[in-house]
């Protein structure tokens, strides 16, 4: 049989929701994040993490020197030689990242300090069949190149299994973990009268969720800030939506936060009332606040170390044809990069500072 054939669509539960005028597709993702560092004592110089829907599935760092699974089902999802093969790819990638950092330091006249080179690539699959792919390369937290696979693809000589097919395969093997349905726990948080009211949902899975504020039954868009959905580290997710509102309006109107999730047909609705709000001024809320702070610290640690897989901030860099080249490799293998049209290969590029007009 075909070891790398993707599972059939009928075996994977991917759907869209339409609730009270809100439509959102459940999105599944496969992404790989690689970070090379310089100048950080007692920290691996190179780390690679593979994630499905934000959950680590495999891991490599320069201290361990070997690719290892992070989910039990991963041992059944890949062939027996996969771990040795990917270990060799990552050992080669480790050297590439070290070289890239040294070249970049020379190009930007840097002699010391902490420096990072990062690469993130992956793909996403929506319930309506839409697929997306991307490859981002960054240095010291800023983009120096990104590629949208919806508009441009590079194809290597060997076209093997695509990123989307790998994602489907992982979803099939990890269905009990990745496709579990857990309802959110919703809390309202308010530090003081000058701070926004925060509606915080946590502990839910899968990651797709709808959250919105209403005033006297009408949905609000002004003065509303919607946060990112982020992993808790235990297979569940959290998200927050904040509302800036004056104490006078809070007294004169009814404000509610509504949370909708596929795990429950019923909405979770929280009204802004004094007894519903957790505040720093209330000592009985220390337990809940502590859990939220710990989750936030965990997330920030991930962002600043290994799995900061959000797009890098683009500012003052652009590709240039001067100076020594930076070799950009696809890692850990050319088997899993492309979003549907083929696989990828490395290419040379060099950088120069860019000063916008």
Q: Which residues contact 11 (CB under 8 A, 6 or more apart)?
A: 172
Query: Among 6, 16, 17, 11, which Cα is nearest to 265's?
Result: 17
Show the DSSP H helices in the chain as ranges.
74-77, 82-107, 163-173, 175-178, 247-252, 286-304
In the predicted structure, residue 27 carries a pLDDT above the cut 90? no
Q: How confident is the model at residue 11 (pLDDT cuts 50, 70, 90)?
A: very low
Query: Among 216, 212, 214, which Cα is nearest to 227's?
Result: 212
In the predicted structure, residue 314 carries a pLDDT above the cut 70? no
Q: How confident is the model at residue 339 (pLDDT cuts 50, 70, 90)?
A: very low
Q: How confident is the model at residue 8 (pLDDT cuts 50, 70, 90)?
A: very low
CB 306, CB 49: distance < 8 Å:
yes
User: How many H-runs (helices) and E-runs (strands) does the chain carry?
Assistant: 6, 22
Query: Among 225, 227, 172, 176, which Cα is nearest to 202's?
Result: 227
Longest dimension (CA), the chain: 68
Q: Which residues contact 75 (CB under 8 A, 6 or more apart)?
A: 69
How many angstroms separate the CA atoms of 175 and 159, rounded?
A: 27
How many angstroms separate the CA atoms of 214 and 193, rounded?
A: 19
CATH number of 185-304: 2.60.40.10
Q: How confident is the model at residue 22 (pLDDT cuts 50, 70, 90)?
A: low
Residue 222 burial class via C-beta count within 10 angstroms: exposed 0-12, middle 13-18, buried 19 and up? exposed
Mean pLDDT of 331-355: 32
pLDDT value of residue 138: 87
The percent of residues above 70 in pLDDT, for the chain, comes to 64
Mean pLDDT of 62-90: 93
37-73 residue pLDDT tens: 999 999 999 999 999 988 899 999 999 999 999 999 9
211: number of Cβ within 10 Å: 23
Which tops the pLDDT comparison, 135 or 25?
A: 135
* DSSP type of residue 225: E
Mean pLDDT of 265-279: 76
In the predicted structure, residue 354 carries a pLDDT above the cut 50? no
Q: How confident is the model at residue 85 (pLDDT cuts 50, 70, 90)?
A: very high
Mean pLDDT of 13-36: 67
How many angstroms separate the CA atoms of 118 and 136, rounded?
A: 8
The percent of residues above 90 in pLDDT, for the chain, comes to 38
Q: Please state the domain extents for the chain.
A: 10-178+306-353, 185-304
Mean pLDDT of 233-237: 84
Give the CATH class of 10-178+306-353: alpha beta
Among 103-117, 182-196, 268-282, the minimum mean pLDDT is found in 268-282
What's the full length of the chain, in residues?
357
Which tops the pLDDT comparison, 225 or 166?
A: 225
How many angstroms separate the CA atoms of 357 and 60, rounded?
A: 42
Which tops the pLDDT comparison, 332 or 266?
A: 266
Same CATH topology for 10-178+306-353 and 185-304: the answer is: no
Mean pLDDT of 182-207: 91
Mean pLDDT of the chain: 72
108-164 residue pLDDT tens: 899 889 999 999 888 888 877 788 888 888 898 887 665 555 554 443 323 334 788
CB 44, CB 63: distance < 8 Å:
yes
Tokens (6 digits) for 280? 């720093």
């Amino acid at each position: 049989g075909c070891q790398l054939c993707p599972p059939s669509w009928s075996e994977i539960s991917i759907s869209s929701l339409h609730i009270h005028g809100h439509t959102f597709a459940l999105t599944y993702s496969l992404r790989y994040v690689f970070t090379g560092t310089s100048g950080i004592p007692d920290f691996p110089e190179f780390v690679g993490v593979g994630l499905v829907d934000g959950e680590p599935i495999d891991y490599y760092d320069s201290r361990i020197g070997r690719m290892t699974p992070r989910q039990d089902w991963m041992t059944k999802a890949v062939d027996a030689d996969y771990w040795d093969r990917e270990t060799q790819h990552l050992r080669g990638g480790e050297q590439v990242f070290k070289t890239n950092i040294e070249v970049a330091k020379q190009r930007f006249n840097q002699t010391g300090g902490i420096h990072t080179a990062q690469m993130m690539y992956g793909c996403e699959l929506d319930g309506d069949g839409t697929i997306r792919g991307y490859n981002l390369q960054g240095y010291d937290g800023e983009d120096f190149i990104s590629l949208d696979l919806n508009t441009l693809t590079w194809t290597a000589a060997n076209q093997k299994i695509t990123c989307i097919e790998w994602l489907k395969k992982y979803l099939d093997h990890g269905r009990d973990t990745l496709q579990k349905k857990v309802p959110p726990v919703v809390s309202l948080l308010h530090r003081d009268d000058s701070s926004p009211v925060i509606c915080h949902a946590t502990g839910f899975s899968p990651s797709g969720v709808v959250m919105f504020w209403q005033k006297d039954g009408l949905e609000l868009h002004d003065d509303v800030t919607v946060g990112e959905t982020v992993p808790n580290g235990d297979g569940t997710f959290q998200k927050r939506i904040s509302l800036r509102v004056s104490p006078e309006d809070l007294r004169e109107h009814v404000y509610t936060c509504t949370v909708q999730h596929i795990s429950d047909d019923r909405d979770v609705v929280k009204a802004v009332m004094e007894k519903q709000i957790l505040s720093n001024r209330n000592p009985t809320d220390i337990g809940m606040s502590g859990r939220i702070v710990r989750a936030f610290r965990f997330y920030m640690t991930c962002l600043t170390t290994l799995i900061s897989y959000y797009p890098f901030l683009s500012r003052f860099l652009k590709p240039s044809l001067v100076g020594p080249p930076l070799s950009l490799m696809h890692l850990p293998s050319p088997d899993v990069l492309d979003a549907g049209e083929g696989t990828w290969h490395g290419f040379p590029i060099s950088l120069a500072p860019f000063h916008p007009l």
